[in-house]
Structures are given as C-alpha cells and as structure tokens.
Amino acid sequence: MSCEKFPSLAAIILAAGKGVRMNSDLPKVMHTVGGQPMLVHVINQAKGAGIERIIVIVGYKREMVIPIVEQNGAEYVIQEEQLGTGHAVSVAEPLFRDYHGDIIVLSGDVPLLSIETLHRIVDFHRGRDVVATMLTAYALDPTDYGRVLRGNDGEVKGVKEHDDCDEEELRIKEINSGIYVFRSQQLFDTLRLINNKNAQREYYLPDVFLHYLAQKEKVAAYVGDFDEIHGVNNLQDLEKVREIYERRSVTA
C-alpha cells in the first residue's frame, strides 16, 4: 500500500515509561528488534503511513531517547512524571491548540504494526462518524492487556485495564492494543475529566472512552491481528516480538 498522506492526521507516540518488568536500566522503547530500537520502528510506521507530524512523549532517561527521536525526524514532549497514558497524551496538548484534525496514538513498545493496518484503522474511523476508534485483537492469553467490553449488539460498551477487571471480565479474549484514533479537540477536552481512581493510581487513556459513552458519543473498535499489536512488557514478550519480526523478514 502506498504512503499516501492522510488529511489532518498527526501521531502521538507514547515512549516515556521505564518498563519495570524488563529488569533493565535501558528505557523500554530502546530495546532493539531487528537491530533497531522499538521506537524507531514505530516512528517509521507513522512516517510510512504518510503522517507528517509525529510527537513522541519522552520521560525516563530521556537523554537516551531524545537523540533517537530527532535523528528520525520526529518531535518530542517531556512527561516529567510518569502518571499514566492519559497524562502522557495530555502533555502534548499545547502543540495542538490550533489543530482540529485526527490524532492517532501509538505505543513505542508495539513495533510490529503494519502500515496497512494503520491505513485501515484510520479509514475505519473516518468512515463511521465516531469520536474515537480503538484497535483491538483476540488473544489466546490476554493476561496483562486491557479488555474490550461489548454489549449484546456488538457495540463497544467500555474498556478495562487488566488489574481492574473482575473474574468474568478477565475471561474476555478481545484485548485493547493501546492504539487509537481520536478527534483531537474532543480528546483533550475529555482528558481533563478522567481520574486516577484505579488499581495503579494512574490516569488511563482508555478512560476517555467511558466518558464518550456516558455522553452517548459513538466510538468504534477495529479488530486487527494480534501478532501486529503484540506489546512488550517483559523480556519474554521481547523475545516473542523478535521471533515474529525474524519470521516476517524471512518470508518477505
């Protein structure tokens, strides 16, 4: 698929976390896949999809991350305290004061997403007159991932972080990838409404969906391939992602 530019589309890449479960002093997004930091893969995803403005949220050991951001043609914003994904996105708001297009939020630890899927989720979002769209997938083992809650009609009714799910919700196999498309101004307005009353005491970006739904706003979920949205939370995840990457490289 070509890298045709989307009108009025910017990207925010979340890359501020330490990655405690990696058992490493290296910022999580600096761990390599195919010889390049995961963050570089994600910046290249956005560039390859024709997204011209790319903002990376940096925090932990940013002195190591910022040069990579700049070398790869992206901008950065500093999240001084790592207070959750919702807070991370909110620190970029000053850069979007006069912007009224869409924002795609990507994760710096999800390096396998294809440009084709990026195109599909944006097209899906724009073809349905919704305020926000999340990329989901079905996982055989959904441990550690947020769960997508759907009603009997198949419509999205909410999303919950793993640690906040009850026993029944933990059995749900459809997981939230952490990748979203939002209408920019409604996103930042809604981020002011979320709180940190949860198990991790963090401001979760997916909580904006709860506010949208409470206001009867339409949201959507696009189901993708789990291999593509495989996030890296620990060294075992990293090895799995490297294995998928190498397999792709052989068959490409």
Please state the φ and ψ torsions of residue 210, each to the nearest 5 degrees.
Answer: -65, -40
Cβ pair 48, 92 in contact under 8 A: no
Angle between helix axes 62-71 and 38-48 (nearest 10 degrees) is 30
Active site residue 150: no
- Classified as helix, coil or strand, 108 is coil
CA atoms 231, 235, 241, 245: torsion sign? positive
CA-to-CA dists, residue 190 to 115, 120, 132, angstroms: 28, 25, 11
Please spell the DSSP secondary structure of 82-103, one letter per residue: ---HHHHHHTTGGGGTT--SEE
The token pair at 32 is: 């390599």
Catalytic residue positions, numbered: 21
